[in-house]
Chains A and B, each alone.
Chain A
Amino acid sequence: MDLLNALVALANFVIVPGLAYGSQLALGALGVTLIYGILRFSNFAHGDTMAFGAMSTILFTWWLQSMGVSFGPLPTALLALPVGIAATALLVLLIDKSVYRFYREQKAKPVILVIISMGVMFVMNGLVRFIIGVDDQRFADGERFIITAREFKEMTGLDEGLAIKSTAALTVVVAIIVVAFLFWFLNKTRTGKSMRAFSDNEDLALLSGINPERVVMITWIIVAGLATIAGVLYGLDKSFKPFTYFQLLLPIFAAAIVGGLGSPIGAIAGGFVIAFSEVLITYAFKKVAGYVFPAWEPDGLIQLLSTDYKFAVSFSILIIVLLFRPTGLFRGKAL
C-alpha cells in the first residue's frame, strides 16, 4: 500500500508534469531542429515566435469568448489555434521574405544568420510586448481537471491523490497528433520527402529539381504551426507571459542539441530527457521517501536542487552531451 502511495505521489508530481512539459519542449525543439536542418542556422527567435503564436491565439480566443463561443469541456483556445497559426505563419513568411532571403541568396555564414535571428527576436519580442503587454494573461477555460486529487483518493482509497489537469492531458494528446502528422508528412508525402532531401544534401536536391524557395516556405509554415501549438499548450498549462517564452529558449535548444540538431526524432527524445531531468532533480522527494522507507525520517526535503536552478539542469545535460557526444543522441548534423 505504501509503495502504491509512493508511486501515486511520484506520478502526480513528477510523471504527469514531466510528460506535459516534455511534450511542450519537444514541439519547440522540433521547430528549432527543422529550421536548423533546412535553413541551416540556430533560430534564436524561436521562443518569441512561440510567444507571438500564443498571443495571436489568445487574442482570437478572447474574441471568441466575448462572442459566447465555447468548446464545451475543452479550452476555446483550441478553436482559435488555426487563426493563431495562420497569423504566425504570415508573420514568419513576411520576415523570411524581407530579412532572411537576402542572406540566403548571398550564402551568408550560419553565424551571421544567427545574429539576424537575434534581431528578429528583438523585433518580435517588442511586437508582443507592444500588443499584449508584459503581464501574465490567463486564457484557459473549459474543464480544469480530468480527475482531481480528491476524486482519485475516493476512487482508490489511497492516501495520495493523483490530479490530472485537463491541460496536461490535452498537451500530450495534441503533441502526439502533431508529431504523428509531422512524421507522416516528412516520410510519406512528396513535399516532405523533398524537404528531407534538401536537408540531407542541398546541392543534390537542387540538381534533382527541387525548388528551394518552396521548401523553405513550407518549412516556415510548419515551424510557425509547431511554435504556435507549443506556445499555446505551454500557455494553457502554465500561463502566458512573454518573458517566460524567451527563457524557454535554453531548454528548447538543449533538447534539440541533446537529441542531435537536425534530427526530428532526436528533438522529441531530447525534449523528454530535459523535461524529466528538470522535474526529477528539482522535485522534493521527502514524501516519496517517507512511503518507501517509513522508518527513515529525513530532516531535509531531499531535493537535489532548488527549482530556481532548473536552468542549471538543462545546461549541465547540454554540457555533458557536448563533451561526450557532440552530435547528440541521434547523430544529428555537426560541423
Chain B
Amino acid sequence: MTLTSRDIFLFFIVFALIGATGFFQSWNVALGIFNMGLISAIMALGVNMQWGYAGLFNIGVMGFVALGGLGAVIVSMPPVNDAWAAGGLRVIFALLIGIATLVAATQLWKRMEKGAIRAFALIVVLVAGFFIFRAVFDPAVEAIEAVNPANLGYLGGLGLPVILSWPVGAVLAAGAAWLVGKTALGLRSDYLAIATLGISEIIIAVLKNEDWLSRGVKNVIGIPRPVPYEIDLQKSETFVERTTSWGFDPVIASSITVKLAYAGLFLTVLILLLWLSQAALSSPWGRMMRAIRDNEVAAEAMGKNVTARHLQIFILGSAVCGLAGAMMTTLDGQLTPSSYQPLRFTFLVWVMVIVGGSGNNFGAVLGGFLIWYLWVMVEPFGLILIQTITAGMSDGYWLKDHLLDSAAHMRLLTMGLILLLVLRFSPRGLIPER
C-alpha cells in the first residue's frame, strides 16, 4: 500500500495552505496550526484504527484525550509532599477498597448460584463497599484539598520528565477503554457509541470535580516542558547572537524555535505510529481485522473471535487517543478540564477521519491536518464573509450586529456541512482505502 501521486499532491496542497498562512500572517501561527495538526493527525489515526480497521463507533474520544492529559499531570508535576502526608496513602487505600469491592462483586456473581440469595449478597457487598470507601476516602480528600488550596490542594505528580507521560497517558486511556469495551462490545453497534459517550462525560466530570487529583476547575498550570522556554533562549547570549546575525528578531525567533522543537518531537511520534499502523494494517492481523469488519458472521465462521479482536483494537485505538491527549497537554503546558468539549474533541476528530478517508492511515493523517486548518481558519474567513454580506447594511442595524456577533459559530455549521457533503458525494474520503 503506497501513496499515489494524487495523494502526495493532496498532502502538498494542505501543507501549502499552512505555508501560505506563514507567508501572509506569521510563521508563529502557521507552526501553531502545524503542531496541533500533528496531534490531530495522531487522534485521527487512533479513531481510524477503531472505525476504519474494525468498524467500531467510538464517540468518547474526548474522554480518552482528557485521560492522556491527566497522565501528563500525574507524571510530570512535582509531588506535593504535604498533601501526600495529609492523606495521599489514605486515598490510595480507599481506591483499593473500591476496586476490591467491584472485584468481590463480580466474583460473587460468577461463583454463587443464581437466585435471590445471590442478588441480595451482591447488593450487600456493593452497598457496604461503597460506604466503607466513602468513609475512608472523604476525610483524606478533605485533608489533601486543605493543603494550600489556592496554589496546590492536590497530590501533584511524580516529578518525572514529561515525555514519559505520553505512554502513561496511553495506558490510562487503554484502561478506560478496556472497561467500556468489556461491557459494551458484542452488543449492538449503537450501544458502544452511547457507552463511550457516557464514559467520556464521566471522565470529564471526574477531572472537573476531583480536586485532589487534577485540581478540578482550578486547572493545573505550568506543566514542565520537554523543550527549552522562550525566556531562557532570549537570555542565552549565543542564541541571541546567532539569530541576530541571521537577521531575525530574537523574541520571535525564540518562540519559533520552541515550536519547531515541539514539531520535531510530535513528528517523530507521528511517523513512528504511522509506520506501525501501516505495518499492522498490511499484516495478517490487519487483513483479519478488515475481514471481521466486512463480514462478522463469515469471520466468526472461520474461527475468529470477533469480540476479543474488537476489544483489542478498541483498546489500541483509545490508547493512541490517550497518547495524543498527553502530547496536547504537554504542548499547552496546562490541564484545563473545562476546555474539553465533545464537539471539539470527539466529533471534530470524526470529521477528520471521514473526510481524510476511513480505513486509510494516510487519509486520517491528511484529514487531521486539513480539518484542523479549516477549524482554525473558518472563523476569520467566516467573519470576512459576513462582513462582505453585511457591507450593504447600515451600521447599527440589528441584523448586521447579530450576524457579526454570530460569525464565530460558523465553525460548527461548516464542519457539519463538510461531513455531510463528503459522506454523500465522496463517502470513501480524500484518500480512499485500498
Name A's B-contacting residues (CB within 8 A): 41-42, 44, 99, 102, 110-112, 114-116, 118-127, 129-131, 133-134, 246-247, 249-250, 253-254, 257, 300, 304, 306, 308-309, 311-312, 314-315, 318-319, 322-323, 326, 334-335
A250 and B342 alpha carbons, distance in the complex (Å): 12
- Is A130 in contact with B194, judged by CB distance below 8 angstroms? no
- Is A247 in contact with B416, judged by CB distance below 8 angstroms? no
For residue B409, which residues in chain A have a CB less than 8 angstroms away from its CB?
A: 126, 129-130, 133-134
Q: Does B197 contact A (CB under 8 A)?
A: yes
Leading 9 A-B pairs by shortest Cβ distance: A122-B416, A126-B413, A126-B412, A123-B416, A315-B198, A119-B419, A129-B409, A42-B190, A119-B420
- Is A130 in contact with B406, judged by CB distance below 8 angstroms? yes
- Is A122 in contact with B412, judged by CB distance below 8 angstroms? yes
- Tally the A-B contacts, defined by beta carbons under 8 Å: 132
- Is A311 in contact with B184, judged by CB distance below 8 angstroms? no
Q: Does B205 contact A (CB under 8 A)?
A: yes
Task: Identify A322's interface contact among B130, B191, B412, CB under 8 A.
Answer: B191
Q: Does B146 contact A (CB under 8 A)?
A: no
Q: A99-B420, A123-B416, A309-B202 are in contact. Are A249 and B57 (CB under 8 A)?
A: no
Known: A126-B412, A130-B409, A315-B195. 16 other contacts (CB 8 A): A42-B194, A116-B420, A119-B417, A120-B416, A122-B413, A124-B416, A125-B343, A130-B410, A246-B343, A304-B130, A311-B201, A315-B202, A318-B195, A326-B188, A334-B187, A334-B188
- Is A122 in contact with B188, judged by CB distance below 8 angstroms? no
Q: Which residue of A lies closest to B204 (CB)?
A: A311
Q: Does B411 contact A (CB under 8 A)?
A: yes
Q: State how many angstroms separate the Cβ of B9 from the closest Cβ of chain A.
A: 27
Q: Which residue of A lies closest to B407 (CB)?
A: A130
Q: Does B424 contact A (CB under 8 A)?
A: yes
A-contact bits for B389-408, CB 8 A (1 contact / 0 none):
00000000000000001100
- Is A319 in contact with B59, judged by CB distance below 8 angstroms? no
For residue B414, which residues in chain A have a CB less than 8 angstroms away from its CB?
A: 126
Task: Identify A314's interface contact among B138, B198, B415, CB under 8 A.
Answer: B198
Cross-chain pairs A/B with CB under 8 angstroms, 7 sampled: A41-B190, A115-B350, A119-B419, A122-B419, A126-B411, A254-B198, A322-B183
- Is B416 in contact with A119, judged by CB distance below 8 angstroms? yes
- Is A118 in contact with B59, judged by CB distance below 8 angstroms? yes
- Is A126 in contact with B197, judged by CB distance below 8 angstroms? no
Q: State how many angstroms separate the Cβ of B364 from the closest Cβ of chain A.
A: 15
- Is A121 in contact with B416, judged by CB distance below 8 angstroms? yes
Residue among A41, A118, A134 facing the most chain B CB atoms (10 A cut-off): A118
- Is B189 in contact with A122, judged by CB distance below 8 angstroms? no
Q: Which residue of B lies closest to A304 (CB)?
A: B130
Q: State how many angstroms separate the Cβ of B206 from the closest Cβ of chain A.
A: 8
Q: A111-B57, A308-B208, A322-B191 are in contact. Are A250 and B416 (CB under 8 A)?
A: no
- Is A322 in contact with B413, judged by CB distance below 8 angstroms? no
- Is A131 in contact with B195, judged by CB distance below 8 angstroms? no
For residue B199, which residues in chain A have a CB less than 8 angstroms away from its CB?
A: 315
A-contact bits for B99-130, CB 8 A (1 contact / 0 none):
00000000000000000000000000000001
Q: A111-B57, A111-B189, A123-B416 are in contact. Are A311 and B202 (CB under 8 A)?
A: yes
- Is B190 in contact with A111, judged by CB distance below 8 angstroms? yes
Q: State how many angstroms separate the Cβ of B331 from the closest Cβ of chain A.
A: 26
Task: Identify A126's interface contact among B193, B195, B410, CB under 8 A.
Answer: B410
Q: Which residue of A lies closest to B188 (CB)?
A: A335
Task: Identify B419's interface contact among A110, A118, A124, A334, CB under 8 A.
Answer: A118
Residue among A44, A115, A334 facing the most chain B CB atoms (10 A cut-off): A115
For residue A129, which residues in chain B have a CB less than 8 angstroms away from its CB?
A: 406, 409, 412
Q: State how many angstroms separate the Cβ of A109 from the closest Cβ of chain B.
A: 9
A122 and B423 alpha carbons, distance in the complex (Å): 14
Q: Does B31 contact A (CB under 8 A)?
A: no
A326 and B138 alpha carbons, distance in the complex (Å): 35
- Is B423 in contact with A133, judged by CB distance below 8 angstroms? no
For residue A116, which residues in chain B have a CB less than 8 angstroms away from its CB?
A: 420, 423
Q: State how many angstroms separate the Cβ of A113 from the closest Cβ of chain B.
A: 10
Q: State how many angstroms separate the Cβ of A3 from the closest Cβ of chain B.
A: 24
A88 and B62 alpha carbons, distance in the complex (Å): 30
Task: Identify B194's interface contact among A41, A110, A250, A312, CB under 8 A.
Answer: A250
- Is A110 in contact with B420, judged by CB distance below 8 angstroms? no
Q: Does B209 contact A (CB under 8 A)?
A: yes
For residue B188, which residues in chain A have a CB less than 8 angstroms away from its CB?
A: 326, 334-335
For residue B410, which residues in chain A have a CB less than 8 angstroms away from its CB?
A: 126, 130
- Is A110 in contact with B201, judged by CB distance below 8 angstroms? no
Q: State how many angstroms separate the Cβ of B102 from the closest Cβ of chain A.
A: 12
- Is A312 in contact with B419, judged by CB distance below 8 angstroms? no
For residue B197, which residues in chain A have a CB less than 8 angstroms away from its CB?
A: 249-250, 253
Q: State how many angstroms separate the Cβ of A316 from the closest Cβ of chain B.
A: 9
For residue A130, which residues in chain B have a CB less than 8 angstroms away from its CB?
A: 406, 409-410, 413
Q: Does B354 contact A (CB under 8 A)?
A: yes
Q: Does B250 contact A (CB under 8 A)?
A: no
Q: Does B55 contact A (CB under 8 A)?
A: yes
For residue A246, which residues in chain B have a CB less than 8 angstroms away from its CB?
A: 342-343
A300 and B137 alpha carbons, distance in the complex (Å): 13
Q: State how many angstroms separate the Cβ of A111 from the closest Cβ of chain B.
A: 5
- Is A319 in contact with B189, judged by CB distance below 8 angstroms? no
A94 and B80 alpha carbons, distance in the complex (Å): 58
- Is A120 in contact with B420, judged by CB distance below 8 angstroms? yes
Q: Which residue of A lies closest to B406 (CB)?
A: A130
For residue A123, which residues in chain B have a CB less than 8 angstroms away from its CB?
A: 412-413, 416-417, 420
For residue B55, which residues in chain A have a CB less than 8 angstroms away from its CB?
A: 111
A92 and B53 alpha carbons, distance in the complex (Å): 33
- Is A247 in contact with B420, judged by CB distance below 8 angstroms? no
A309 and B201 alpha carbons, distance in the complex (Å): 9
Task: Identify A42's interface contact among B130, B193, B347, B351, CB under 8 A.
Answer: B193
- Is B416 in contact with A253, judged by CB distance below 8 angstroms? no
A-contact bits for B253-268, CB 8 A (1 contact / 0 none):
0000000000000000
- Is A247 in contact with B193, judged by CB distance below 8 angstroms? no
